[in-house]
Structure 1
Amino acid sequence: MATAQRGDLLLNHEIPEPVSARHLRDVTRSRIGGRRWGIGFLLAAGVLISYIDRVNLSVAHDALTQRFAISRHTFGFLLSAYNFTYCLCQLPMGLILDRFGVRRIGRLSTLVWSIASFAAGATTSLGALFGARFLLGVGEAPTFPAAAKATGNWFPERERSRATALFDSAAKFASAIGVPLIGTLLLAIGWRLSFVLTGVLSLLFFWAFTAIYKEPEEDPKLSAAELAYIRQDELMQDANELAPIKLSLLELLRQRKVIGLALGVLAYNYCFYMLLTWLPTYLSSSLHVDLQRSFLYTGVPWIVATVVDLVVGGWLVDLLAGRSRNAGKVRIAFLVVGMAFGLGILGAAPAHTAGVALFWITVSLAGLSAHAPVVWSAPALIAPRNNVATVGGIVNCTGQLAAIAAPIVTGYLSFKQAFLVAGALQCMGMLAYVFLLRSVEPMKLQRAG
């Protein structure tokens, strides 16, 4: 029976039976192919384009405030409009992804966010602009839960931090290249066409995703050897462990590890979205950097964040976790230390020059970026396979509460006060990792009754 269950995991791909640890080691050493990495880069491209859509609004701050006579407070709400609907969709989106799969939901969501980008460029009133941003939030809601679920489906545990770093670093790289690029285009062709450009990019990704993405068992270009490599962790489990486990939403919300991870993401997202939405304005209004240079300077910390995300959060985490007898403890160490470096945002609070401010902001973003791939790979590592997207939705929903609050609260505070709030939340996040999450490993299920 165990052999039959394991064979069923591979569906139409046949591998020699019985599947043994020795066989899997041989598979690991053989030429297994790299189809999974092609899927990883496809997911990264989607995140890159979706985040360029998000930063487009912050880049257009001056043009939009003049066109629609928007106050700083109102602009804070406009920056958060996307996150309102994004957040509301997270919990149901996780359940929907677990029910219908990444491919079907991914195609629909990409089409919706493409329409939203074009709609933003065509708006003639502030209300219509809010509507376009609300629609963008609905369209992009599956992005991270879907990427986390796809990564869990396409990569063995030993490669998940690197795979997660691919799409997570794309979020940072979007700001590194998106802010200077869109800023330059905005000054040359206007804000409307800059939104149209992101709509075109989104449609191109819709075509690519529709043509390429399939689940591993359904992909004819995936070899049997590579599928066995991807499924090695499951194939080496006992037959009893292969029985499908699925918890209800309420049961998942009771899990200590889910709560700890969610609070950590809340702390991370607050600082991330504060900088994602307000950094160009902070440089130009508080530090008196001219608009063109503020676009260019904004890219510096995000470029560093991209590199750290890939090298430290991806490659180094997988390297050390693979060599350790307790990979879960290695990953929790990166979460705590990374967020400790994130406290560098406190150094920017008293800064009076762009150089000092950018140094401390870069330290903060680098630390948070080192910890981010572990965060986004965690749902696939702590949750039952049938609940991965749901746990991702819970975590992302909690994070989006901070993403909603950060732009609005920052609009009412001085930037010094805003940086202090971000630092305090990161202290809370570290405590949640240490005392609630404790280790990035499968949760010990706490079921009702």
Structure 2
Amino acid sequence: MKGFRWLIMSLIFFAYILNFMDRSALSYVIEPLQKEFGLNNAEFGILYSAFGVSYLVMTIVGGLLVDRLGSRKILTLFSALWSIVSGMMAIASGFFSILLIRIALGVAEGPAFPSLTRVCADWLPHQERARALAISLAAIPLASVIGAPFISSLIVAFGWQLMFIALAILGLIWSTVWYLIFRDHPQQSRFVSAEELHHIQENMPRTKKHIPLQAFLKYLSHQPQLITAYLAYFCLGYLLSFSVSWWPGYLNQTFQLDLKHIGWILCIPWLCVTVAILLGGSLSDKIWEKTQCIVKARFNLIIFCNICAGLAFIPLVLTHSLSIAITSISLGLAFGLMPIAPFYAINSDLASEYAGTSQGLMSSCLGIASFIAPALTGYLTQHSGNFNQAIIVIIILLFLAALGIQLEKNKK
């Protein structure tokens, strides 16, 4: 993978590691915030939901902004903003100040993923998109693997306030580098060689003239493939939101493990997810290169992964063996999140002129899942006394997503 475009994708990879560490850092300071401000678990639930609501709104708005203003301006501005907002946690004085900070963080991080899709649509030909998206999106599980020891070490060494300041400084450094070297189109960059520019333009799909948003919405109303992909992405988002929020609680309540052991055990499934996301993107691109068919390269892979993930989670409701549970979680998460790059590539493939807007709509489905999954899981586990019903919901959603795409994948 030679060329300046891959340096750009590497920068995005590091941006999303910082992005996910910033949004998840609150979960590592629950105990000190409880002691210092007297917060309870119900209040922490409100804080998590506040981020999800503002994030949901801004994924849509962010998609519109990035299509209009470009990824250079939007990512520079909002990465700097989310870094500053994260750093403001160091001066938080109680529940309401943290609530405002979490709302602002959701606003600042909302445009991030639509910007990634816009970069792929502007810089990469079809056969490289899913692979590039996979590399960038592998930052999601890696942020969970790296974030736990990194953030915990910062807290132990310097305190929770300085931990947030350190994350803010890293984000501001990234924002500066992005502004200095990135341009919205490869032909605008002095770092892109003539050979690389020829490769990009030669393999770039022909795009139409920029059209009004109303035209995109009209186009979308006649695209059952794209609409079904949005709904299926909700199911992926539900699984991801459940995993970030509840797997530690599942292991603690089901097997009585302490947090120290849970942290190390959960490294196993998240490492599997990292490999799976990279494999999913690469496999999707290879299928595209051979077939030039979106259905085979994107939709069939998503169907296969969802079915395998649903099957992998079934043992969790049938057995109480820790080793089987870890294997099941690892396989289920790996297959369930493996098609995340093909999902993103679908926006560039089917709506290239409005890739950012399309990704904003798709990401809004994840945003909806981000506050439904934790709340519904809490309700089900409280009333049933175990996680069986909550896991069955995940299994059903995965199978429904596979069925829906199978029924609609060939419709245009």
Q: Structure 2 length as normaliser, TM-score? A: 0.90
Paired letter, 1:419 = I
Q: Provide, for residues 93-138 of structure 1, a one-character-per-residue CA deviation record: whole Å limited to 9, x for no partner.
A: 2111111010011111011101111122321211111211111111
Q: Provide, for residues 395-424 of structure 1, a one-character-per-residue CA deviation record: whole Å limited to 9, x for no partner.
A: 111221011212222333323332222222
Q: 1:139–1:233: structure 2 CA closer, same or farther, 3 Å change rule?
A: same
Q: 1:348 touches 1:358 (CA, 8 Å); kept in 2?
A: no
Of 376, 379, 385, 1:409 maps to: 376
Please say if 1:382 is aligned against 2:350: yes
Q: 1:218–1:108: structure 2 CA closer, same or farther, 3 Å change rule?
A: same
Distance in 1, matches of 2:31 and 2:321, equals: 22
278-287 or 209-218: which moved more?
278-287
Paired letter, 1:175 = S
Of 373, 396, 401, 1:429 maps to: 401
Of 78, 99, 117, 2:86 maps to: 117
Q: 1:78–1:354: structure 2 CA closer, same or farther, 3 Å change rule?
A: farther
Please say if 1:89 is aligned against 2:61: no
Distance in 2, matches of 1:387 and 1:55, equals: 30
What residue is the counterpart of 1:359 in the other structure?
327
Q: 1:79 touches 1:407 (CA, 8 Å); kept in 2?
A: no
Of 250, 256, 262, 1:294 maps to: 262
Paired letter, 1:295 = G
Aligned to 1:352, the other structure's residue is in SS state: coil
Unpaired segments ≥5 residues, structure 1? 1-31, 445-449
Distance in 1, matches of 2:247 and 2:152, equals: 13
Q: 1:67–1:425: structure 2 CA closer, same or farther, 3 Å change rule?
A: farther
What residue is the counterpart of 1:341 in the other structure?
308
Paired letter, 1:87 = L
What residue is the counterpart of 2:13 in the other structure?
44
Unpaired segments ≥5 residues, structure 2? 382-386
Q: Structure 1 length as normaliser, TM-score? A: 0.83
Distance in 2, matches of 1:294 and 1:184, equals: 17
Q: 1:186–1:294: structure 2 CA closer, same or farther, 3 Å change rule?
A: farther
Distance in 2, matches of 1:210 and 1:350, equals: 52
Percent identity, aligned pairs only, is 28
Q: How much does 1:266 deviate?
A: 0.3
Q: How much does 1:247 deviate?
A: 4.8
Q: How much does 1:336 deviate?
A: 0.7
Aligned to 1:221, the other structure's residue is in SS state: coil
What residue is the counterpart of 2:145 in the other structure?
176
Distance in 2, matches of 1:122 and 1:297, equals: 33
What residue is the counterpart of 1:368 in the other structure?
336
Q: 1:242–1:395: structure 2 CA closer, same or farther, 3 Å change rule?
A: closer
Structure-to-structure mapping, 1:12-411, within 5 angstroms? 34-215=3-184, 216-234=186-204, 242-248=208-214, 250-254=217-221, 255-310=223-278, 312-324=279-291, 326-343=293-310, 344-350=312-318, 352-383=320-351, 385-411=352-378
Q: How much does 1:284 deviate?
A: 3.4
Distance in 1, matches of 2:303 and 2:355, equals: 23
Distance in 2, matches of 1:77 and 1:418, equals: 20
Q: 2:87 touches 2:164 (CA, 8 Å); kept in 1?
A: yes
Q: 1:133–1:243: structure 2 CA closer, same or farther, 3 Å change rule?
A: closer
Distance in 2, matches of 1:151 and 1:60, equals: 35
Distance in 2, matches of 1:416 and 1:70, equals: 29
Q: 1:38–1:82: structure 2 CA closer, same or farther, 3 Å change rule?
A: same
Aligned to 2:339, the other structure's residue is in SS state: helix
What residue is the counterpart of 2:384 in the other structure?
none
Paired letter, 1:139 = A
Q: How much does 1:382 deviate?
A: 0.8
Paired letter, 1:36 = R
Q: 1:111–1:121: structure 2 CA closer, same or farther, 3 Å change rule?
A: same
Larger radius of gyration: 1
Distance in 1, matches of 2:376 and 2:167, equals: 28
Q: How much does 1:251 deviate?
A: 2.0
Q: 1:122–1:280: structure 2 CA closer, same or farther, 3 Å change rule?
A: farther
Q: 1:420–1:189: structure 2 CA closer, same or farther, 3 Å change rule?
A: farther
Distance in 2, matches of 1:309 and 1:392, equals: 18
Q: How much does 1:353 deviate?
A: 4.7
Report the RMSD for the aligned CA atoms in angstroms: 2.3
Q: 1:89 touches 1:138 (CA, 8 Å); kept in 2?
A: yes
Q: Provide, for residues 361-400 of structure 1, a one-character-per-residue CA deviation record: whole Å limited to 9, x for no partner.
A: 11111102321110111100011x3211111111111221
Q: 1:346–1:80: structure 2 CA closer, same or farther, 3 Å change rule?
A: farther
Distance in 2, matches of 1:61 and 1:281, equals: 14
Q: 1:179 touches 1:299 (CA, 8 Å); kept in 2?
A: no
Paired letter, 1:114 = S
Q: How much does 1:158 deviate?
A: 0.5
